[in-house]
Chain A
């Protein structure tokens, strides 16, 4: 062992052909998995987007642009814009909720840090659908929340929480907020507290120190959290299904309909590709931004 060490070190620094091959082998399982299940299914969806259906509604390969052409229907643009709005709003609210939580746990959690993080994460082991279904029962018109509010005079007979826009966004925030807390916590945990102290020593007030020291240092964590929340929120259909009404339909609901009730897989695939395109543009912006951040950090 001891004999081997120097040589392996030089090899590493040299980053020669052997080292590269070893890392390539390490990447093989992941690459196979991703190509097999992600890229391949993506290709399948892309091909089906220009496919057709037979007389019995079963999807068939072929070349027919009817599905793609149907996307020009303004109904889809409207629903896509609504989904984008809901997802962005969800991101913002998650950020506002998650930052103080992550900050408190990371800086003041002491020896309870891990227990506190576990307390946040463990409820999310329960299936999202089940939790949302639970909420829809709790928040129903004759459910415990509204009955209690009515009893103390904070709500009248017409007040409703379910099947409203805020209801859907609340569902999305509840469903995905943990994806914001974890990366923020990781960033704040890594943060060198002496930086904050230095800020204070240089006569920065608590607000200025937070804005010019803490916040910039955790920007990458926030960016990661925003992406992790935005992507699933944009494609979600459970929240709108269980907490929304006719005016809160999201793009995920329409896609689901095309694959099930409509039996129109080509149009469903075309819609999926459109959604992917919107998300890709967002991801591209994010990658450019983080690359710029990294470049700045290196300077």
Chain B
């Protein structure tokens, strides 16, 4: 005879344990409540001086490692690195109270952080190399995402265009309509990115790239539904898709195309064009969170990164251009096969950045994206 099975604990005991768990859940949920606003002192600019090791938070592989080593050696501090894999993840960690000295939000997210009072102000006069940025690239002296660049310093800028296989489908016409090319039918990719895909449709129809208007979004989804049968997929891995032949033509970020130049045996089989209807622009920036433990070191780091020799190293390492006077030639040499990767002052003036919308506009865009993607 087998031993009798053990008696399970009473239902009441389980309920008691469960109640404890729920209490924990409620506490964790407080993260979604409006957080305490930092006081003015926490947001005041600080002097650039060593006040501890640098706690650095960025995309992986987005700075040349030799630049870190140089900074550590010169100032006698350590760079403590961690990485994020999405803007959403970065902001979630900041909101959860993690403390970093320097973060790198994109324009749209910088605006959210600035508006939410999450960034410390930056005194440009403390940065000896800042005139090379703000003096030449006047756009960034007063960008839409951070009036007066009071909390940020631009890091890289890039645009969205079309990458294609010259060897398979020849030359293009310089328009977004090229994505509908019959020669590429079935081997067309769009970026897996809501703003980029809706923005491309908007540019072709002559509408604002960040439109949240239901009628305009309806026209965009109708236009994109004619592209859908020709489409092979939504993927942001554009350079691999071109390299391994899955894509003959794809929406692509200029920085990825520049990075591809290192990977391809023969770059001449590829092309990159910035369509004439307009190309979305994006940028990211240096920012110091309000609760940064060592804001002084962060200021030194920004200044160090803006030194011409370090700008050069970083451009060559990551393949993205930087709005720093004197670095244009470095980037132009790097992307010589794809001259349209360059982000010019005219590109910036066209101002085709994706903006934050209000609640209703964001919901409308979200719903339009679901229909484009799910068909």
- Seen from chain A, the residues whose Cβ lies within 8 Å of a Cβ on chain B are 12-13, 15, 19-20, 23-24, 27-28, 31-32, 34-36, 39-41, 43-44, 47-48, 51-61, 66, 70, 73, 75-76, 78-79, 137, 140-143, 158, 160, 162-163, 241, 244-247, 249, 253-254, 257-264, 267
Contact = CB atoms under 8 A, between A and B. Distances in A.
B326 interface: no
A73 B370 contact: yes
Contacts, number: 160
A39 B15 CA distance: 12
Contacts of A12: 3-4
A24 B17 CA distance: 11
B362 A264 contact: yes
Contacts of A158: 186
Nearest to B365: A262
B24 interface: yes
Given A32-B20, A141-B244, A245-B231, A254 B374 contact: yes
Contacts of A263: 88, 362, 366
Contact of A249 (B194, B195, B367, B373): B373
Interface in B1-35: 3-4, 6-10, 13-14, 17-18, 20-22, 24-25, 28-29, 32-34
A261 B246 contact: no
A17 B369 CA distance: 59
B82 interface: no
Interface of B: 3-4, 6-10, 13-14, 17-18, 20-22, 24-25, 28-29, 32-34, 86, 88, 91, 95, 112, 115-116, 186-187, 192-195, 228, 231-234, 240, 244-246, 356, 358-359, 362-363, 365-367, 369-371, 373-375
A43 B18 CA distance: 12
B9 A24 contact: yes
Contact of B374 (A15, A66, A78, A262): A78
Contact of B32 (A43, A59, A73): A59
Contact of A39 (B22, B32, B240): B22
Contact of B18 (A39, A78, A245, A267): A39
Contacts of A55: 358-359
A261 B369 contact: yes
A258 B20 CA distance: 30
Contacts of B13: 24
Contact of B233 (A27, A70, A245): A245
Given A20-B9, A261-B193, A263-B88, A39 B21 contact: yes
A281 B14 CA distance: 23
A15 B366 CA distance: 58
B366 A262 contact: yes
Contact of A15 (B7, B95, B112, B234): B7
Nearest to A24: B9
B245 A141 contact: yes
Given A60-B34, A137-B244, A23 B88 contact: no
A57 B17 contact: no
Nearest to A140: B244
Contacts of B375: 75, 246-247, 249
Contact of A246 (B28, B116, B234): B234
A239 B194 CA distance: 20
Given A40-B21, A44-B29, A57-B362, A27 B245 contact: no
A259 B194 CA distance: 12
B32 A51 contact: yes
Contacts of B22: 35, 39-40, 43
A20 B10 contact: yes
A15 B233 contact: no
Contacts of B358: 55
B362 A75 contact: no
A79 B374 contact: yes
Contacts of A52: 359
A75 B17 contact: no
A232 B135 CA distance: 55
Contacts of A54: 34, 359
